[in-house]
Amino acid sequence: MKLNYLLLDVFTRHRLQGNQLAVVTKGDGLLDGEMQAIAREFNLSETVFILKPNAERNTAAVRIFTPHTELPFAGHPTVGAAVVLGLQNKVSAVRLEEKIGLITALFEKADKRSGEARFALPRLPSRVADLTDKLGIAQALGIEVEDIGCDVYQPAVFSAGVTFHLVPVRDANVLKRIKVNRGIWNEVFKHDHNSAYVFTLTPDEPDNDLAARMFGMDIGEDPGTGSAAAALIGLLSEHATLANGQADFVLRQGHEMGRPCRITIQLRKDHDILIHGGIGGHAVVVSEGVLDLDD
């Protein structure tokens, strides 16, 4: 069995930056265990398998695997898959069947190897729980208790398909100082995947509104996490000053890792209720190859 694949850098216009992604372009016929083994072989934060869609009117079915488990939804794999399919099919929109549901992504080509994709969240974020143990959070992140909190934002657990512990911190300098304490991590961040998305506002940075780092999901630190940004939309929405209308944000992630990512975030409210959340970003093809699985 030989399988073609592409390697992309996502949430960036520039090769060798952003968040890496493997895309197996024709994964039909693979068993679940084989997909998991291939994802473990690539050993990237996620690997995408593009399959024939169940419904003829859709572009493709997409399955997303970390090296350890399958995810119902993830942001940078969705952006990467949409860019690959947009480039291959020469279309401006793709309909993706993911485990979480159907996602329609708008695609804009930049050149023959890169483009931008934007999509509405298939599931709006919801608050799962409060996160009140500030001492534990501080110890787990290697920061001070007084570093926790930013403007009106306080720690909370949200999910838009994947659960994240959202931790606002005082400023970008606190982000730089984080030192993960694995000894107590899972006790403090005890919900699914034990993932913490630490973020702050960046009023002094002209190119973005927010900065973040993501730790957990058995991958250490992740350079760019669209599903966490999707969860963050829930917390942003709770404190957005608009009762009606749209707010747009630009978030940077991965700078501390030397893999800068740029994620666009959109939320829309009607009568103070969140009715739309969107994620977007660029992706660029870095390389392509063939998996040779013949004995």
The set of catalytic residues is 46
**Tally of CB atoms within 10 A around 215:** 23
Query: Which residue type occupies 266?
Result: Q
Query: Which residue type occupies 76?
Result: H
Query: Which residue type occupies 190?
Result: K
The answer for 193, left when phi > 0, alpha when psi is -120 to 50, beta otherwise, is left
What does the alpha-carbon distance between residue 206 and residue 52 come to, in Å, rounded to a whole number? 42
Contact 221, 213 (CB under 8 A): yes
The residues with which 2 forms a beta bridge, in sequence order, are 292
CA end-to-end span of the chain:
9
3-class secondary-structure state, position 137: helix
